[in-house]
Amino acid sequence: MNRSTHPPIDDRVRRSKERVLRATSELLTESGLEGVSVEEVSRRSGVAKTTIYRHC
C-alpha cells in the first residue's frame, strides 16, 4: 500500500485552527447557524479572515 505522508502542521496554523474551531463552536451554541459568519469567527477568534480562508 502506498501511503502519502503529509508534512507536519506548523504550530501557528494549528493554534489558528483551534481558535477558529472554538469560536465557531461558541457561536453555534449561542446563536445557531445564523450567528456564524467568517467575519464574526474572525472577530471572536482573533484570527484574520485571510488565514481562515487559507488554512481552515
Tens-binned pLDDT, residue by residue, of the chain (56 aa): 456 677 888 999 999 999 999 999 999 999 999 999 999 999 999 999 999 999 87
Give the pLDDT of residue 4. Answer: 64
> Amino acid letter at 42?
S
Give the pLDDT of residue 15. Answer: 95
Dihedral (CA of 35, 40, 44, 50) sign: positive
Give the pLDDT of residue 6. Answer: 75
Which class is 11-55 in CATH? mainly alpha
Rounded Cα gap, residues 16 and 35, in angstroms = 20
Q: Name the residue ranges covered by the structural domains of the chain.
A: 11-55
